[in-house]
Amino acid sequence: MTPPDEALPQERRFLGLSAGTWPRILAPLVMGLLLLGGWEWAVRHFAVPAYIVPGPVQIAQTLVKDWPTLSGSLAVTLRITLLALLVAVSAGVALSVLFSQSKWVEMTFLPYAVMLQVTPVVAIAPLIIIWVDNVQASLLICAWIVAFFPIVSNTTIGLNSTDRNLVDLFRLYGATRWQTLVQLRLPAAMPFFLAGLRISGGLSLIGAIVAEFVAGTGGASSGLAYRILESGYQLQIPRMFAALALISFSGVVIFLALSLVSHLMLRRWHESALKKDR
């Protein structure tokens, strides 16, 4: 190790983050504050009634006031979302592995996976809700249908695009199918799978919300979509916005969390996670 050379410019850091990271956090933050400020100002200046567009301040107040109901609904929606994502990941990866082991399986089932994907979930949700007695289970199925395909298609592409020379090398050393799958194909498919996972995270939230809308059931265990419907009927528009804000926020958190997972898993080796140090 050479001691730091005074003559060389050192990377500047503020509060533990490199100087280059701050604009990426600050710029959207400032933009958001400006937008919210402008919104609040417009609502007050033009005296827009709260049942048409409430201001951010009022929405925040409603969020605090109605937190007991809203947080319960948030928990319900998030539970469905995460459960759907979990099932989509395990079923999706399992199906992709089957596809990669046999061209016949792929030829037989891939069209149906595509069909499941291209059929709008709103169109099949009523059927599913009728067929499946349990509301929670039917919501879960709807969210899963939406989240499933990106995992399957991305992981399948990943498993099939393994370096052919590496596959040959495994064959040269007499590797078993299982060794080739676990030590070669699955790690090689990881970046593709993670890209699919990030898409599916957002989609499973959308699927859960859409299904809740269609189900539209009330009661103790109902999610954020139901709160939006309910607030609409009761003309409690600030509450509607509060529920909407929670949905958006959840979506962003899910995306950031999955991006972080992806970064942590790939940072040592994959191009996509490289620091742009050139």
Residue 116 interacting with another protein (CB under 8 A): no
From 271, 275, 276, 277, residue interacting with another protein (rule: CB under 8 A):
271
H or E, element range at 14: strand 13-14
Per CB under 8 A, the list member of 25, 26, 30, 169 interacting with another protein is 169
Sequence-separated (6 or more) residues with CB below 8 Å from residue 248? none
Give the number of residues in contact with another protein, rule: CB under 8 A: 22
Tokens at 203, concatenated = 């989609």
The stretch among 5-13, 73-81, 117-125, 172-180 that binds another protein (CB under 8 A) is 172-180
- Asked if residue 60 lies in contact with residue 72, where contact means CB atoms within 8 angstroms, the answer is no
Site for another protein contains 184 (CB under 8 A):
yes
Alpha-carbon distance of 209 to 203, in angstroms, equals 10
How would you label 181-212 residue by residue, b for 16+ Cβ within 10 Å and e otherwise? beebbbebbbbbbbbbbbbbbbbbbbbbbbbb
Helix (H, G, I), strand (E, B) or coil at 171: helix
Residues in contact with another protein, shown as a per-residue x/- string from 129 to 168 under the rule CB under 8 A: ----------------------------------x-xx-x
Residue type, 222: S
Contact between 268 and another protein by CB under 8 A: the answer reads yes
What is the smallest separation between the CB atom of 186 and another protein, expressed in angstroms?
Answer: 10
Is 71 or 183 the residue whose CB approaches another protein more closely? 183
**Which residues bind to another protein, rule: CB under 8 A?**
163, 165-166, 168-175, 179, 183-184, 187-188, 190, 268-271, 274
